[in-house]
A and B are shown apart, each in its own frame.
Chain A
Amino acid sequence: MSDLLQVRNLTKSFGGVVANREVSLSVPSDAIVGLIGPNGSGKTTLFNCIVGYQPIDRGSITFAGREVSRLRVPEIARLGLIRTFQQTRIYRNMSCMQNMQISVRHESEGLRTMFSKFVSEVNAQADALLEFVGLYDRSLLPAGELSFGQQKLLELAMALMNRPKMLLLDEPTAGVNPTLINGLIDRLQRANSEFGITLLVIEHNMRAIMHLAQHIYCLAHGELLASGSPQAIQNDRRVVDAYLAVQ
């Protein structure tokens, strides 16, 4: 199995604070990999570095065999590496359907494409994905009027609309009604198995991530603390200590 995403010795600091120190991880194609760690351990910073939102100090990031650590956010996105946000971000004043339409892959875009109408395949795909996350009957509603949990589902559907190779999900279950979490986890697994999308997931909900991921990395104080199968991580003394705030 080849690695779709490979991070090697990534270091990122803000002034004197080292947010990521010599972090290395790899995500194989078609896998679901988890990223856990206490608050402030550098998970979101690592995400931001991978998608090009923050420049890295040292190290390398390769995606699909290509060095991406010097590329800008939209360029990386167009390679098929899409992230969702911890504080869900959707286009609030546009309808759910419009949110979906505009989330198509933006490959080559000359004036002719920019000024084109949406073809019926795009609309059909948008309908199908809204159905997939259970928002089909809300498609004409402004996205800002959805509940927070529904906005998370919409953001997931938008990411899928982009047909990415890989999705980085920042706490997909945070703030979602517990009764909806199982459904969300199921959707993520199906996105992986049916659409062939590789997932790297930051998650605080241990039950969810242990169930979802095949392999888990744990960060603490910006450094990689442990990695292994969900069972191994659950039984790792260092991980338990880090979470119970033993400084």
Chain B
Amino acid sequence: MSRPSTRAARYAALALVALAAPWLLPSYTTQMTFLWLMVVFALTWDIVGGQMGYNSFGNVLFFGIGAYACAVVQRDCGLGYFGSLALGTALAALAGTLAAAILGPGILALRGQYFAIGTLGLGIAAADIAAGWRYIGGGSGMVTPLFPGAVGARERFFYYLLLVVAVLTFATLRWLYAGRFGLTINAIRDDEEKAEAMGIRTTRHKTVAWCISALFLGLAGAVAGNMLGFIEPREFAFAGSTYGVWMVLMAMLGGRGTLWGPVIGACVFHITQEVFWTYLLGWQRVAMGLFILVVAVYFPRGIVGWFRQAR
């Protein structure tokens, strides 16, 4: 561990880069906004998947719920743009958390592969329900209100908003992992039966862990939906085969069960993906598949895990 002063300096430098980025590279602002979304995806997945050992393929559910909840509030509440966005985002976080609290005790009673399959079903079911529900636009999706401002300002606004969500997620997890909660979900990962035999309230901790994950995914969904301006049920809100799988890949790539692993994994994944799209168009999915294969075979513990082992 490094000294607190050097660590603070490192955080400050990172913050400076993140704050200045849209002014230094204005044409990449949307790409970098997506990067923060990916960081939130990987971090929230790792709470349950990495730290607690429950591989979820359905976390995208909470992202979609957040996106839709916010859009519905914006459509119906009758406040101004920023008022309705603020209210919508808050209620989106609440809706995601509630969904996790209701589903958690049942779904989290499944173990191992059964949990993975069960959560996979959740995402698919949600996409189908959303596509058939007229109130939220059905298959044609929902359009979010128009941003009242210049084009460049809109992009920077959502860049900073998602940056705030990502930083908030990271800071919350950093605090939680350092205390009793982090150790409890680690114990559940290592040996759930032992944890029960020691009197740990496993169901309660598992559900709360999923709720924390859902809270930040709800926030991210609300902001990301507005950033794109259009919410589509299958390709965006409940996009299990892209976002849902990427969450898992990014966390594993960076090193699951570590604080920085998901952040680094998200950065590497996102940049790699952009590079493949730019230079290997037509073959980008094949290249991505090969890349994932190499990581899974040669770096099963991820980038952070590999560095720790090498030291």
Contacts and interface: CB of A to CB of B under 8 A. Distances in A.
Are both chains from one complex?
yes
Best-buried of A51, A101, A102, A106 by chain B (most CB within 10 Å): A102
Interface residues of A, number: 31
A105 B197 contact: no
Interface of A: 51, 53, 73-74, 77-78, 82-83, 85, 89-94, 98, 101-103, 105-106, 109, 111, 113-118, 158, 162
A94 B178 CA distance: 13
B196 A115 contact: no
Q: How large is the interface on B (under 10, 10 to 19, 20 to 34, 35 or more residues)?
A: 20 to 34
Interface in B153-193: 176, 178-181, 183-184, 186-187, 189-191, 193
A92 B197 contact: no
Contacts of A91: 186-187, 190-191, 194
Interface string B213-226: 00000000000000
Nearest to B180: A116
B20 interface: no
Interface of B: 176, 178-181, 183-184, 186-187, 189-191, 193-194, 196-202, 204-205, 208, 257
A90 B197 CA distance: 11
A111 B186 contact: no
Contact of B199 (A74, A90, A94): A74
Contacts of A51: 197
Contacts of A78: 199
A74 B208 contact: no
Given A102-B200, A109-B204, A114-B184, 7 more contacts: A78-B199, A83-B197, A89-B193, A90-B190, A102-B187, A106-B201, A114-B204
Nearest to B202: A74
A51 to B, nearest CB: 7
